[in-house]
Amino acid sequence: MKLLMVEDNRSVSEMMSMFFQKEQWEAAFAYDGDEALEMFNQQVQDWDIVTLDLNLPGKDGMEVAKEIREKSKTVPIIMLTARDSESDQVLGLEYADEYVTKPFSPITLIARIKALYRRSGLKEETAVLKQPAETKKFDINTPNFQLSSATREAYLLDKEIPDLTPKEFDLLKALSSKPKQVFTREQLLQQVWGYDYFGDERTVDAHIKKLRHKIEQVGPQIIQTVWGVGYKFDDSDVQTK
């Protein structure tokens, strides 16, 4: 794994460097926002994970995450933040896949990195050549919606849902694999983030919000809220909307 850690606290970086070496990961470190973007842009396709402090000298973590997302829609980003309010966490998830609140234990961060890398399927995704939609093999195929795990693409009314991050794709796949079945937030946390994820249910809500925005760019909404319970996928009447 090749990892970019953006952290202005050099003591934290030095500590994590020892843990990364133990995992035999190739890690690079940036100490401010401008340096982080320069390093990322030099090897855009090579990074497997980015950990990104929210409070940075120069460009802050939010600005850096936004610019990274403009270069790569798929590289997983973990936001590191000393803030713990709901608004800060949701804001951090606008561009990042997960957040870790400081202070954190190195073991916890290592576990999060492993879980996110394992689920992202980044290596498999970049190895798959783009194919015309009509030649793809779909795991989920309805008259209105198609999803391919091989290419990590999803289509609504023959239009590709754009710029899905690894988490958004996995969330859409989980919901669409069982149309009309209601999933609780806890079930989605377990299925998409894994049993080793130490997050809360607001993480699901933040990702659903971003996923819905992208779905609405190509067609009607297919992720429905079941109040007091959770969410479900339902594309049965999209053509009549």
Instruction: Going residue by residue through the chain, which has 241 residues, state the pLDDT in tens, using 9 for 90 and above.
Output: 899 999 999 999 999 999 999 999 999 999 999 999 999 999 888 899 999 998 888 888 889 998 998 888 888 899 887 765 555 555 556 778 888 888 888 998 998 898 888 776 644 444 444 444 454 678 899 889 999 988 889 999 989 999 888 888 999 999 999 999 999 998 998 888 875 555 567 788 888 998 999 999 999 999 999 998 999 999 987 764 4
Closest by CA to 211, choosing from 150, 167, 241, is 167
Instruction: Indicate the pTM of the whole model.
Output: 0.58
Residue whose structure tokens are 């239009």? 159
Summarize pLDDT for 218-237 with one digit per residue, the tens: 999 999 999 989 999 999 87
Phi, psi of 150, deg, nearest 5 = -65, -45
What would the two tokens of residue 64 be? 């850096």
What would the two tokens of residue 157 be? 């009314």
SS3 for 179?
coil
* The pLDDT of residue 189: 87
The dihedral of CA 25, 80, 48, 33: what is its sign? negative
156 DSSP β-pair partners: 145, 159
Closest by CA to 155, choosing from 139, 167, 178, is 139
Angle at 222 between CA 216 and CA 204, to 5 degrees: 90
> Which DSSP string do the residues of 170-189 spell out, in sequence order?
HHHHHHHTSTT--EEHHHHI
Burial class (CB in 10 A: 0-12, 13-18, 19+), 171: buried
The residues near 124 (Cβ < 8 Å, ≥ 6 apart) are none
Mean of the per-residue pLDDT values for the chain?
84
Summarize pLDDT for 102-134 with one digit per residue, the tens: 888 899 899 889 888 877 664 444 444 444 445
